[in-house]
Structures are given as structure tokens and as C-alpha cells.
Amino acid sequence: MHLIGDVKGKVAIMVDDMIDTAGWQYVFTFLVTDIY
């Protein structure tokens, strides 16, 4: 997974993330406020 831009304090929208990759945990480490 690659993040483009600054996501600190932002809301992340993830499309088609596979549960076994745990992509939401990776994004959450960058201090996003919510993940949908």
C-alpha cells in the first residue's frame, strides 16, 4: 500500500481493502481521524 500526500488528521476512505492485509492499521498509524 502506498499513501500519497499528508494524511495526518484527515479522514481516510479505503476501497476494496482485503482483511488479511490489515491496510486500515497501516493508515491508522499515520493518525487519520476516521477510516471508512
- pLDDT value at residue 24: 65
Domain that holds residue 9: 1-36
Number of structural domains (the chain) is 1
Q: What is the pLDDT of residue 30?
A: 65
What pLDDT does residue 10 have?
A: 76
3-state SS, one letter per residue, for 1-36: CCCCCCCCCCEECCCCCCHHHCHHHHHHCCCCCEEC
What is the structure's pLDDT at 34?
A: 64
Q: What is the pLDDT of residues 1-36, one digit of tens each?
A: 666 777 777 777 776 656 666 666 766 676 666 655
Q: Cell digits for 1?
A: 500500500
